[in-house]
Structure 1
Amino acid sequence: MGPGDATFHFAAESFPTPLRDHFVGFAAAVGKAGAAIGTQVIAPIQESFPDPQKGIQSMFLIGASFAAIGSLISWFPIPDKSRDLEDEKARFRGYLAANGYVGSFGESLEEEIKTTSYEI
Structure 2
Amino acid sequence: MNQKELEFFRESLNKMLNDILQKGQETIEDMTESGEVYADPADRATAESDRAFTLRLRDRERKLIKKIQKAIQRIDDGDFGYCVSCGDEISIARLKARPVTTLCIACKSKQEDEEKNRGD
| TM-score of the two chains, using structure 1 as the length reference | 0.34
Q: Compare CA radii of gyration and give the structure with the larger one.
A: 1
